[in-house]
Chains A and B, each alone.
Chain A
Amino acid sequence: MVKDKATVVVVGGGATGVGILRDLSMRGIDALLIEKLDMVNGASSRYHGLLHSGARYAVRDQEAAKECIEENTILRRIGKSCVEAISGMFVQVEGDDPDFVDPWVKGCAESGIKTRELSKEEAWSLEPNLSRKLVRAFEVPDGAIDGFRMSWQNVQSAVRYGGRYKTYTELIKINIESGAVKSITVRDNVTKEEYDIECEILVNAAGPWAGKVAQMAGLDCSVSPSKGTLIAFNQRISNRVVNRLRKPSNGDIFVPHGSITILGTSSITIPDPEDTSTSWEEVEELMKTGEGVFEHLRDYRILRVFAGSRPLYVPKGADGGRNASRGFVTLDHEKEDGLKGMMTICGGKFTTYRLMAEKFCDVLAPKLGNTAKCRTAEEDLVPAVSEADKKAARQYFPSYGVNLAATRLGTEKFPEVVKTLKENPETREVLCECENVTMAEVMRIAQEPTSHSVADVRRRTRLGMGTCQGNYCAIRSAAIANKLFKDKLEGCGDSLSDMKNFLQARWKGITPVMAGKTLREAEMTRGMYEVLFNVNGGRR
């Protein structure tokens, strides 16, 4: 049954998809994005949150490096509510190849990336935890970017231009008539309803799942999902991004990200992008390399470990993994395979998501007779909450809470939350003490039509992502949020099972690193929920 139609349907709610949704909407093209789960649940949030300066690619791939520095500059300007405008360092430690430095410095200069060599003393004074085995250090304009906020802010920007989106809406069939895509069949993963959406062009922006989507149309698109494992530490080990100055390899990058630090990544070619499993061995490999940069790394508390898969595009006959290009391709299936009305975008990097969308839409728009120029670099993703509004709201927020809430909520929801805080003082209660999230914010996000579980609320608030990994906020928020969800997910029909699912997902990231301080925390969670609250009813 046809229930909806859009000129363009974009499949995939990651950085690539939201970038295209925004770009098309700003060009005045009617676009609808569908995502099978919650927005940003794939590689766009399962990465280290690095806004590349491009320096990492300066030797091997100068084109990528140039793209990175240009996009880095643009995102710092348009993404003030999702970019942490910090800087970065490349450090060489004892044992690293000294001959790598000169070509790297030259490569950066040629790519337009400003570098500045720091004396060892300067580097240590800026980042006191850096290894004493430091040899050379350079400053570069790296930054940090929050995948969750960036993606939602792109969606919000698209919505202002008429763009639409549906989460928990999974593509199950591509309906082709006489060599052209006519419609798609989707399943609503909340209500289980199946229906058709008519479209003129179907955009496959499913990242590592792009191969699977192409298959539904009988096409072959070789995407090689490459799993990257990352470690989240409990605090900021440095205030700048710290990269290892050597030929890019595993465990090279530390990104201070909000209250935490993320160390990544590994690169393992996997058959199934759904595989986000991690192992102690992967962690150990990252830790061993990471110790080269921060020699006391093992003294720091690990919060969790997580993995995502990069959507690496492998042209026929080429290698995958770390050697596969970080560049992207636009596949026009009309040209390539004789199928009208379908295009695929493959590969790419988070940092260049906007540029990818621009180039892709430059090909797509003319097919619809649209000649509008890309304007995504000209306008802020979202308007920022004013300093005056933040200052006025400060009295209602917990300390250190206003800035974060303002960037998460944006100009529309922030005043609503402030109003709730003002009128109902009990909603000032901090439900998540580790990440400073108030009851009012949880309530507001729970009311969003896209929120169906505490995990959805987590992705938009950082609830449960700090020190105690959901220990206290799970029980505090499950009942409150579940009263407010419009539709609930299967298996989350009541607040108890939602709470258990939420904790189970936190648990997944904790198990591979269950030692030392992390073990103490996990044991307390077990003690509280299994023993004290007996959430499993005494059964194993």
Chain B
Amino acid sequence: MELEERARDSADNCIACTSCVAVCPVTKANPDYRGPKLVGPAHNRMHFSDENDYEDSLKLCSNCKNCDITCPNGVSVATLNMLERAKYYKAHPEKHTQADQMLSHNFQMADMLKSIPFGRTCANIGMSIGEAMGMMGAMGIAPQRKSPRFATKYFREMYKEIKQPEGLTKEVLFFPGCFIDTNDPEVGVAFVKVMNANGYKVLMDDRFKCCGSPLVVGGYLDEARSHADNNVAIINEYAAKNIPVIACCTSCSLMLKAEYTELFAQEEMAQAAKNVYDAFEFLTILAEKGELKKVHVSSDKKFIYHAPCHLRAQGMGMPAVDLLKEIGVNIDSADAGCCGMSGSYGFHKENYETSMKIGSELFDKINASGAHKVVCDCGTCREQIKHGTNAKTTHPIQVLAKAYEQ
């Protein structure tokens, strides 16, 4: 019942307090965006008046979820926006740009390249040539950016070569997500190391598909639904065996934990959500039970931490930075709001300026911090930080894995 209530009443809970507009990074950076309150809950009541109308600035919402984080009444404002966007594209599929298609379906490209010998190397060279020749802009992708390169070996391939210690009795299922799997597999490797060190065997399940987050923001809701159904069934299968599912990407974990249910309101999704953890959330639970491997870092190398919006939207504080501090890492949170990337948002040519404007506060703080590396749980945030500051970045699990190596 609680589930139904939430889905039905989300817009009804809005008291029009405008807090969401006050914190919306897009509204602040781009006055063309009419703000989460109007585009979400307010327009929700007005659709009756004109079936063929739509809000043009809806496409400017980055789905960063700062509106949801702020809302004092629990309205899933960003999700309302995404549902609305989906409705629009369903009626106007021709409005999808080439960039929408590509950025939402990166997983397809990744799978295809894997099946071609030297496919990834060629694709990476192709991207370099494309960027050098200014072809990205023509496809609707911000020409200023360097697209993340495909790893020559994906995590799913590396995983098979990892020798996990014998005799581990406890198991977790890893949800790598597209970015870690195909762009930044070392994060996955670090995760396996950390879990093994804590007595857990890491399982993989090849049936997992992209969490669907890029599909949702691209307005491909039906596809996202099929991914959700697929993933939820797998998660519940493992839940029945008491095997938790863990993600290192905070956008993936938010999707699995909250957005599926908000978007599709299915009981089994709410059920699956209970079995999904962010990596540091899980490690913190271990620490609280006194089961986390003890380690102390003596180096005073300075780190700065950026909390991804999709981590903050999970309402569990900043477990990574807390845990790293606890073991002696010299790390502080930048506390500078959204980085402006929001997954694929900042890769769109038309969003580039907004994206960089949003990130400027974070960039300034990082540049002024004197930290040698920026720690962040989210892959696309890290891309944005590298682009905006030239700083080196890392996932917190890699910092912890390194600490375990000492």
Chain A residues packing against B (C-beta within 8 Å) = 129, 234-236, 239, 256, 258-260, 296, 299-301, 394, 398-404, 430, 433-436, 466-468, 471-472, 517, 520-521, 524
Contact = CB atoms under 8 A, between A and B. Distances in A.
B38 A400 contact: no
Contacts of A524: 15, 17
Contacts of A467: 14-16, 41-42, 45
B335 interface: no
Contacts of A403: 49-50, 53
Interface string B1-40: 0001100110111111110000000000000001001100
Contacts of A256: 48
A520 B12 contact: no
Contact of A299 (B5, B11, B14): B5
Contacts of B46: 259, 400-401, 404, 435-436
B125 to A, nearest CB: 44
A404 B45 contact: no
Contacts of B15: 467-468, 517, 520-521, 524
A400 B16 contact: no
B45 A434 contact: yes
Contact of B45 (A299, A466, A517, A520): A466
A517 B13 CA distance: 6
Contacts of B8: 129, 296, 299
A258 B17 CA distance: 22
Which of A398, A402, A467 lies at the interface centre, i.e. has the most chain B CB atoms within 10 A of its CB?
Answer: A467
Interface of B: 4-5, 8-9, 11-18, 34, 37-38, 41-50, 53-56, 73
Contacts of A435: 46
**Chain A CB within 10 Å, residue with most, of B9, B34, B42, B50:** B42
Given A433-B16, A520-B73, A400 B9 contact: no
Given A299-B5, A430-B38, A433-B38, A404 B16 contact: no
Nearest to A399: B55
Contact of A301 (B12, B38, B42): B12
Nearest to B50: A403
A184 B41 CA distance: 51
A216 B353 CA distance: 72
A394 B55 CA distance: 11
B9 A299 contact: yes
Contacts of A129: 8
A400 B49 contact: yes
A471 B16 contact: yes
20 contacts: A234-B45, A235-B44, A258-B49, A299-B5, A299-B8, A301-B12, A301-B13, A394-B53, A399-B56, A400-B46, A400-B47, A401-B46, A402-B53, A430-B38, A434-B42, A436-B42, A436-B46, A467-B41, A467-B42, A472-B16
B49 A234 contact: no
A465 to B, nearest CB: 11
Contacts of A401: 46, 49
Contacts of A436: 42, 46, 49
B53 A400 contact: yes
A517 B41 CA distance: 14
B83 to A, nearest CB: 15
Nearest to A84: B48
Contacts of A301: 9, 12-13
A400 to B, nearest CB: 4
The B interface, classified by DSSP as helix, strand, loop or mixed, is helix
Given A234-B12, A235-B12, A434-B16, 11 more contacts: A235-B11, A259-B46, A299-B9, A399-B56, A400-B46, A400-B49, A400-B53, A403-B49, A517-B15, A520-B15, A524-B17
Contacts of A258: 48-49
Nearest to B17: A524
Given A299-B9, A433-B16, A467-B14, A402 B45 contact: no
A240 B23 CA distance: 38
Given A235-B45, A259-B45, A296-B5, A399 B53 contact: yes
Nearest to B34: A398
Contacts of B49: 258-259, 400-401, 403-404, 436
A241 to B, nearest CB: 14
A433 B48 contact: no
B42 A433 contact: yes
Interface centre among A256, A299, A404 (most CB of B within 10 A): A299
Contacts of B37: 433
Contact of A300 (B9, B14, B43, B45): B9
A157 B34 CA distance: 38
Contacts of A402: 50, 53
A468 B44 CA distance: 14
Contacts of B42: 433-434, 436, 467
Contacts of A521: 15-16
A23 B142 CA distance: 65
A521 B14 CA distance: 9
A21 B319 CA distance: 72
Contacts of A468: 15-16
Nearest to A259: B45
Q: Which 8 A-B pairs have the closest CB atoms?
A: A400-B46, A468-B16, A301-B12, A399-B55, A259-B45, A521-B15, A403-B50, A403-B49
A435 to B, nearest CB: 8
A299 B5 CA distance: 7
A400 B43 contact: yes
Contacts of B55: 399-400
A259 B41 CA distance: 12
Nearest to B41: A467
A436 B50 CA distance: 13
Nearest to B58: A399
A525 B44 CA distance: 22
Contacts of A235: 11-12, 44-45
B49 to A, nearest CB: 5
A236 B15 CA distance: 17
Nearest to B9: A299
B195 to A, nearest CB: 42
Nearest to A518: B15
B6 to A, nearest CB: 10
B307 to A, nearest CB: 28
A129 B46 CA distance: 19
Nearest to B4: A296
B1 to A, nearest CB: 9
